């Protein structure tokens, strides 16, 4: 089964970012952010999502969380996803060691147009893309895939099949669900999408709430809550 699935997904695997250079010392977290650009996301919602992420990365508390441990920085990757062959890298792996690193990522996001707009929701393949990218960052203490979406899988391999055939060993998958049906979608994400130590689902009522939800999620994934509780 796995070999057949690999052959079927060859285009996706070939499109993954190439491994980086020499392993960085002291990386505490490799964080891959996956943004839904399937056809259910209209132009206004896309802008709210893209600009909300950029604004969240520049928020003072998020900046502080990213830079909290200078000796062990965070590595960040961002991609958009929709159909089973539509995964688009928007920010390749970059080390967030200074405030200007975050400024640069936010500026690049804000200047980019949408990668795709007319494809369905291949959530399983979105997980595969992010999982394969994180598999190349084993020098980091923790590895987290953060996938945002407003619908269930309706194209390509299902999330549960992908997770079964391509074990995400050592990788935590978190979710951010968006929309008026987010309670139902959150249950779907909890049952079929998230995985790994401490995995959780964040909810946003609509894309206007995306920035606030992303801020809450970033603080949790960057370990701010754990550090506060340990004091």
The pLDDT tens digits for 3-18 are 556 555 554 554 555 5
C-alpha distances (whole Å) from 29 to each of 23, 26, 141, 217 are: 13, 9, 6, 14
Asked if 196 and 172 count as a contact pair (C-beta separation under 8 A), the reply is: yes
Task: Give pLDDT tens digits for 166-184.
Answer: 989 999 999 999 988 888 9
Which whole number is the average pLDDT over 102-110? 97
Q: Is 225 helix (H, G, I), strand (E, B) or coil?
A: helix
Quote the CA–CA distance of 95 and 71 in Å, as a whole number: 12
pLDDT at 52 over 90: yes
**CATH code 1.10.10.10 for 36-229:** no
Torsion of CA 145, 132, 70, 107, to 10 degrees: -70
Closest CA to 199 of 178, 171, 179, 177: 171
pLDDT over 90 (residue 39) = yes
Indicate whether 58 pLDDT > 90: yes
pLDDT value at residue 181: 84
Instruction: Identify the band that residue 67 occupies on the pLDDT scale cut at 50, 70 and 90.
Output: very high
pLDDT value, residue 182: 80
What pLDDT sits at residue 229?
37
Point out the least confidently predicted range of 4-8, 36-40, 71-75.
4-8
Give the CB-side neighbour count of residue 42, counting CA atoms within 13 A.
Answer: 5
**Prediction pTM value:** 0.89
pLDDT of residue 224: 53
């Amino acid at each position: 089964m796995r070999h057949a699935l690999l052959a079927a997904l060859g285009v996706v695997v070939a499109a993954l970012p190439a491994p980086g250079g020499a392993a960085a010392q002291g990386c505490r977290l490799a964080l891959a952010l996956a943004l839904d650009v399937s056809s259910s996301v209209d132009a206004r919602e896309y802008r709210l999502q893209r600009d909300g992420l950029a604004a969240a990365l520049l928020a003072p508390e998020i900046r502080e969380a990213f830079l909290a441990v200078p000796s062990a920085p965070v590595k960040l990757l961002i991609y958009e996803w929709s159909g089973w062959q539509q995964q688009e890298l928007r920010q390749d792996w970059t080390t967030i060691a200074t405030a200007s690193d975050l400024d640069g990522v936010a500026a690049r996001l804000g200047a980019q147009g949408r990668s795709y707009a007319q494809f369905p929701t291949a959530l399983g393949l979105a997980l595969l893309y992010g999982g394969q990218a994180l598999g190349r960052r084993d020098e980091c203490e923790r590895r987290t895939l953060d996938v945002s979406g407003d619908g269930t899988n309706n194209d390509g391999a299902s999330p549960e099949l992908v997770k079964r055939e391509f074990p995400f060993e050592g990788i935590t998958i978190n979710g951010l669900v968006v929309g008026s049906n987010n309670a139902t979608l959150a249950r779907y994400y909890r049952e079929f999408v998230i995985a790994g130590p401490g995995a959780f689902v964040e909810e946003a009522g609509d894309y206007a709430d995306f920035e606030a939800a992303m801020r809450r999620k970033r603080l949790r994934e960057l370990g701010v809550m754990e550090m506060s509780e340990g004091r």
